[in-house]
Amino acid sequence: MNIQVSKIIILGDSKVGKTTFVKRLLNQNLNHEYVQTLGVEVDCVEIQNKIVNIWCCSGNINHNLYKYFNKSKLCIIMFDSTKHDNRIEYWIQYFRRYDQTTPIIICSSKTIDFTNLYYETIYPIFYINSFTNEGIQLIKQYISNI
């Protein structure tokens, strides 16, 4: 049997829910205590007979995150839709500086009641709530097709 392995990069500011989102992808219980990711954390999940290595990057740009982008199949840019100061464009430009070809999707965390028409016309956008598990199945389905 030939098993496909993919690598996904997750970028976004600190405290936007990247680690919580990964825990949901892994079907793990949530830890409600905030623990900051330092550098990158790599987890592995099977989604529809595919092995997906998820590289969840720190929201701190000082960690030289670009060195983790090599051979990625997808970049997920996460933002907290409850905050007005999200830096979606910053993370898109940062990723594109080092990788011009890997597809990008945008993932709004913490609420599904958010609309950003500007980005919806350029990138696929997903609305999730990791606390309630809303939207997680849709993004898993998308990931299974990369």
Kindly list the domain boundaries of the chain, sorted by start residue: 4-144
pLDDT band at 34 (very low <50, low <70, confident <90, very high): low
Is the pLDDT at 117 greater than 60, yes or no? no
What does the buried/exposed string (b/e) look like for 48-71 if buried means 16 or more CB atoms within 10 Å of the residue's CB? eebebbbbbbbbeeeeebeebbee
CATH class held by domain 4-144:
alpha beta
14-31 tens-digit pLDDT:
989 898 899 888 887 766
Statement: the pTM of the whole predicted model exceeds 0.95 = no
